């Protein structure tokens, strides 16, 4: 772990440049550029709110906030893990020419997506105020699920970035996996109406979304400690496994990229 920390501080400037590069490339050749960070979740929220409020009779005025909280967190997890998975192969040219700690690449992929995600939270703030969901003392606790989500995304991203070097089909399998995860995160439906409640109790991403929603709606996430402790433990474990697997296989990357 000390080796990773030393490398992190030694190459922090490269990490910063890779994060900036990732943000710039994401919206390259787009007329609106980074403004899409705000428009995309807003438009998605409007479509989902129209479908599930209008067609399915949801009359809750704050339902768009419910959708947006789930959609934003899931999108970060999805985008962060997918870009991290491709990061080693995407930087194959640099890896073959210059020595840089290879974990810098998936780490920067997750970090630049996290920056974009934080910017997109501006939309959530605006929509919440318009619909009457105002900040409370519990709002600051939203930092906990956000940090947990970052660790979870980083851990899964490290595992996927390693696997995808040796198994190219992992990219397609993960797309299917993300679809399954999306439908078990209660982004646009009420989980209390689902009979198989155990699905949510083993899904750390749903736990992050649930506790984040609690913070946004001004209620205490600590009334049910399980939803805070479970995803945090899973996230830390995933990070340890991800970095361990990455370290074990990283010397073989050059033979497969």
Domain count of the fold of the chain: 1
> Rounded to two decimals, what is the model's pTM?
0.90
33 confidence band (pLDDT: 50, 70, 90): low
153 confidence band (pLDDT: 50, 70, 90): very high
Tell me the pLDDT of the chain averaged across its residues: 86
- Residue 219 included in any domain: yes
Average pLDDT of span 118-128: 89
pLDDT at residue 61 in the model: 79
Burial class (CB in 10 A: 0-12, 13-18, 19+), 6: exposed
- Residue 241 included in any domain: yes
Whether 152 shows a pLDDT value over 90: the answer reads yes
For residue 66, give both structure tokens: 């419910």
- Residue 3 included in any domain: no
4 confidence band (pLDDT: 50, 70, 90): low
Average pLDDT of span 156-167: 94
- Residue 257 included in any domain: no
Return the residue matching tokens 């190219």: 168
Between CA 158 and CA 13 the distance in angstroms is 21
pLDDT at residue 3 in the model: 62
Range of 246's domain? Answer: 20-251
């Amino acid at each position: 772990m000390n080796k990773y920390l030393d490398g992190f501080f030694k190459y922090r400037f490269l990490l910063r440049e890779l994060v900036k590069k990732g943000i710039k490339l994401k919206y390259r050749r787009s007329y609106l550029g980074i403004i899409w960070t705000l428009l995309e979740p807003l438009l998605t929220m409007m479509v989902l709110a129209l479908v599930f409020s209008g067609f399915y009779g949801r009359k809750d005025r704050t339902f768009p906030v419910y959708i947006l909280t789930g959609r934003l967190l899931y999108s970060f997890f999805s985008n962060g893990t997918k870009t991290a998975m491709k990061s080693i192969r995407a930087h194959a040219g640099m890896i073959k020419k210059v020595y840089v700690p290879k974990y810098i690449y998936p780490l920067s992929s997750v970090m630049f997506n996290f920056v974009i995600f934080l910017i997109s939270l501006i939309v959530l703030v605006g929509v919440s105020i318009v619909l009457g969901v105002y900040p409370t003392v519990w709002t600051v606790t939203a930092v906990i699920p956000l940090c947990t989500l970052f660790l979870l995304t980083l851990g899964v991203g490290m595992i996927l970035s390693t696997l995808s070097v040796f198994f190219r089909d992992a990219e397609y399998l993960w797309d299917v996996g993300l679809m399954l995860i999306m439908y078990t995160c209660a982004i646009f439906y009420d989980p209390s109406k689902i009979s198989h409640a155990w699905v949510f109790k083993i899904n750390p991403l749903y736990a992050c979304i649930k506790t984040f929603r609690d913070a946004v709606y001004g209620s205490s996430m600590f009334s049910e400690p399980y939803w805070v402790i479970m995803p945090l433990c899973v996230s830390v474990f995933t990070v340890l496994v991800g970095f361990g697997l990455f370290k074990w296989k990283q010397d073989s990357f050059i033979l497969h990229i």
